[in-house]
Amino acid sequence: MSKLALLMQSYAEKKNLNQLDGVAKTLVDGVYFYRSPLGNKRQPFLYQSGIIAMAQGHKKIYLGGKSVTYGAGDYVVVGVPMPLECEAYTQDDKPILGLSIDVDAQLLHTLVNQLTEGAFSHRHEAELFTPYLKNKEQKEKKLNLGLQSESLNEELDDALARLLKVLHCDRDAKVLGEGIVKEIVYRTLLGRHGHILFDLAQHDGHYARIAKVLNHLHLAYADEIRVEDLAQQVHMSLSGFHRAFREVTSETPLQYLKKIRLSKAKDLINLEGKRASEAALMVGYASPTQFSREFKRYFNSTPRSFA
C-alpha cells in the first residue's frame, strides 16, 4: 500500500468514514475525501473543476469519443465542470480512495501572475514554467479538453501527504491546510498539464471565455438559455463560440445544458426526495414527459429508480 493510500485509510478510520460510499467534506475549504468500497459500472457523472488525486483503485472517464484512465499514484486536472461517463474499479478488494481539491480563482490568478511577471532569477526558469505562452495563437486554434491525467511527481506526492497528515488533526487542518493547498495548486501549475489551469487565468483566451460560460450554466441551468446570448456574453461570434465550446467540452452548448439539467434533477430526486415532475420543473423542463424520456435515455434508468 502506498504512502497516500495508508494516510487516506488512516484518515477514514480517524473520521469514522469507513462506511462512506461517496464524497465527504474535510475541514479545509475546497478539499473533499472520496471513498468507494465497490466502484461502479460506466454511468453518467458530473465532474467539477479542480484537482483529483487517486491513492487506491482506478477510474476510466469518457468524454465524447475520448477516454482518460487514472489510478493509484495519478492525478487529474479538470479545468471546467464536465458532464461525462465514468467507471470505477477496486483492486485487491480494497476501497477506492482519493482526494479532490477545488482551485480557488483568486489563488489561481495570484500564482499565475507570480509565475509570469518576472518572478524568476534565471530566464530559462521562466521559459520552463510558462510554455503555454509559446505559440499562443496556434494553441487558441485547437483548445485542449478540460481534463487530463498525469502521474504524481515527488513534490506533489509529498504535498498531498502533508495535507492528509494535517487533516488528521482539526486544529492543524484549520491552521495549515490552506497553505498546503496553495502549494498543491502551484505544483500542479508546474506539471505537464498545468496549462489547463494557466489558460483559465487568461481572461482574453477562448478557454477562459468558455469556462466563464460553463460557470454561468451551472448557476442558471433552470433559466431559458439562448446560445446566441451566451456567445454575446463572452464577445464571440456564434460560429466561433460553437467551435470553441465543442473543443473544450466535446459537446454542443445545448447538449451540455441538457446533461447539467438531468444531473441536477437526479440529485433532487435522489438526495432531496423530490418527485420527478417537481425536479423536471426545477431544472427547466416544461414537459414532464420529455424530461422522463431524456432522463431514461441518459441514465439508462427511470427517475423513479433513484427515488
User: What cell numbers appear for 106 in the block?
Assistant: 483568486
User: Phi then psi for 75, rounded to 5 degrees?
Assistant: -140, 160
Domains of the chain: 3-102+155-187 (2.60.120.10), 206-306 (1.10.10.60)
pLDDT of residue 32: 98
User: Which of 107-116, 167-176, 215-224 is the least confident region?
Assistant: 107-116
pLDDT at 222: 96
Residue 131: predicted pLDDT: 47
Residue 68's pLDDT is: 87
Q: Give the model's pLDDT for residue 146.
A: 56
User: Across residues 152-166, what is the average pLDDT?
Assistant: 97
280-299 pLDDT, tens digit per residue, is 999 999 999 999 999 999 99
At 226, the pLDDT band (50, 70, 90 cuts) reads very high
pLDDT, tens digit, 9 for 90 and up, residues 73-97: 999 998 888 889 999 999 999 999 9
- The whole-number average pLDDT for the span 265-277 is 95
64 pLDDT higher than 80: no
**pLDDT above 70 coverage of the chain, percent:** 90
What is the predicted pLDDT for the residue at 294?
97
Specify the amino acid at residue 95: P
Q: What is the pLDDT of residue 144?
A: 52
* 73 vs 307: CA distance, rounded Å: 36
Nearest 5°: CA angle at 77, between 298 and 234?
A: 75
Predicted local confidence at residue 118, as pLDDT: 57
* Strands, E assignment, the chain: 22-25, 31-36, 40-47, 50-56, 58-63, 66-71, 74-78, 82-89, 96-101, 147-151
Residue 37 Cα to chain centre, angstroms: 21
**Mean pLDDT over the full length of the chain:** 89
- The whole model's pTM is what? 0.85
Q: What tens digit of pLDDT does each residue of 111-154 get?
A: 998 888 755 444 444 454 544 444 444 444 444 555 678 999 99
- pLDDT on residue 293: 96
Q: What is the mean pLDDT of residues 61-72?
A: 87
How confident is the model over 1-22, as pLDDT tens digits? 799 999 999 999 999 999 999 9
Other beta carbons within 10 angstroms of residue 156's beta carbon come to 21
Q: Span 244-264, mean pLDDT? A: 94
CA distance 55 to 117: 35
Element at 209 (helix H, strand E): helix 206-220
Q: Which of 46-55, 182-191, 192-201 has the lowest mean pLDDT?
A: 192-201
| In the chain, % of residues over pLDDT 90 | 73
Strand pairing category for 50-56 and 66-71: unpaired
**Spatial contact of 72 and 98, defined as CB atoms under 8 Å apart:** no
Tell me the backbone φ, ψ of residue 142, rounded to 5 degrees: -140, 95
